[in-house]
Structure 1
Amino acid sequence: MDAQLLAALVDEAGRKSDLLWLRYAGLDRARAVWHAWQDGVAYVVAGGGEQPVPGLAEAAEVTVTARAKDSQARLVTWRARAEQLTPGSPEWDTALAALRSERLNATDAANLPDRWASESTITRLVPTGEVLEHPGKMPTDDEAAPPPDSPATTRGKLPWVFHRRPTRGPKLS
């Protein structure tokens, strides 16, 4: 694929997707984040009651998946340059407008800009033009990560639940 077609693919996938999967130094697995796409860049807000994306200050690897819930197929993976925006700058205001329109279920919509300026960071992910995976150039394995360690277990007998149907019939004498 030529560079112009790949840039169009990145832009179209970014506009149509709700989630981006980010992978960068310091993460053990890809992390899903919601974003706003505008003018060929992705904006991500993190921290301060928003999504936790610790350490997103370096270049990131961004994977965009299909919207269909049944497939979740990867569409494109590209390298991004991460730029943290300064509150009050023109870039911040542009990102704020884009993110605010995409932020669903905000409990304090009126105070959102002030809260983001004081508690959160907004990062702009700018495509560098390096496309790592695209249709026709996808890895053959599924790249599924093993589940993280957890103290939770499911061993042992399940607790009795009121109104549950008995598993055995009544004993006949």
Structure 2
Amino acid sequence: MTETVSQALLDRALIEEATKKSGLIWVQGTTGPARALWHVWHDGAACLVGAGSEGGRAAGSADEQPLHDLGLVDGGTATVTVRSKDKGGRLVAWQAEVTELAPDSEAWQAAVEDLKGKRLNAPDAETMPQRWARECRVLRLAPAAPAPARTDFGDASHAATPLPTPATTRHPVPAALPKLLRRKRTR
């Protein structure tokens, strides 16, 4: 009994410390692929803000990270994978219980205060909390109690295939480019 309790405490400490130190976490909800999202660790959970439409909220702001296709719903679950800060590889994965914080509630205001400090390059830093209340969702991802932290990922790459996109950077080399490059070398 005490061995399982101490293992649960060690798992919880690993989850908290790794998630606090990582700038990004990969979150996979009930639909769609896992997505890298910025977050803050606040009051025993990863808190994040983003644009999304679950739960009847507006489509959301294009200025924030998209949450609409992840299937993150209030009362649902998600899988969170945290990378190592120094090596960049996966360190721990854990199951999370998703809670959507109600705008302007006490919990929402406390989470937004921490999120506001971590939000980089905000176009409207002064009025950001009001915009988040109107257009975005603030989610709290708390570690599920009985689920242990997963640290063994095997030897496989687990690299995700890129999402399909019409954007491309592969074009034939312009015919004049080799001649221009030779000219620069001779100078």
Q: The TM-score by the shorter chain falls in which range?
A: 0.7 to 0.9
Q: Which runs of 4+ in 1 moved over 4 A?
A: 159-163
Q: CA RMSD in A?
A: 2.4
Cα gap change, 1:159/1:32 in structure 2, threshold over 3 Å: closer, same or farther? farther
TM-score calculated relative to the size of structure 1:
0.84
> 2:111 aligns to what?
95
Identity of aligned residues (%): 36
> 2:54 aligns to what?
none
User: Alignment partner for residue 34 of structure 1, among 31, 38, 59?
Assistant: 38
TM-score calculated relative to the size of structure 2:
0.78
List runs of 5+ in structure 1 lacking aligned partners. Answer: none
Higher helix share: 2
> 1:76 aligns to what?
92
1:119 aligns with 2:135: yes
SS in 1 for 2:123: coil
State the distance in 2 between where 1:159 and 1:26 align: 45
> 2:80 aligns to what?
62
User: Alignment partner for residue 4 of structure 1, among 6, 9, 30?
Assistant: 9
Cα gap change, 1:160/1:94 in structure 2, threshold over 3 Å: closer, same or farther? farther
SS in 2 for 1:2: helix
State the distance in 1 between where 2:113 and 2:142 align: 17
State the distance in 2 between where 1:162 and 1:92 align: 58
Q: Is the CA contact 1:36–1:42 (under 8 Å) kept in the aligned structure 2? A: yes
The one-letter amino acid of 1:142's match is S
Count of aligned residue pairs for this structure pair: 164
Cα gap change, 1:25/1:158 in structure 2, threshold over 3 Å: closer, same or farther? farther
1:53 aligns with 2:67: yes
SS in 1 for 2:117: helix
SS in 1 for 2:140: strand
Cα gap change, 1:165/1:119 in structure 2, threshold over 3 Å: closer, same or farther? same
User: 1:35-91 deviations in whole A, cap 9, x for unaligned?
Assistant: 0111210111001120011132131100000123xx311111000011111111111
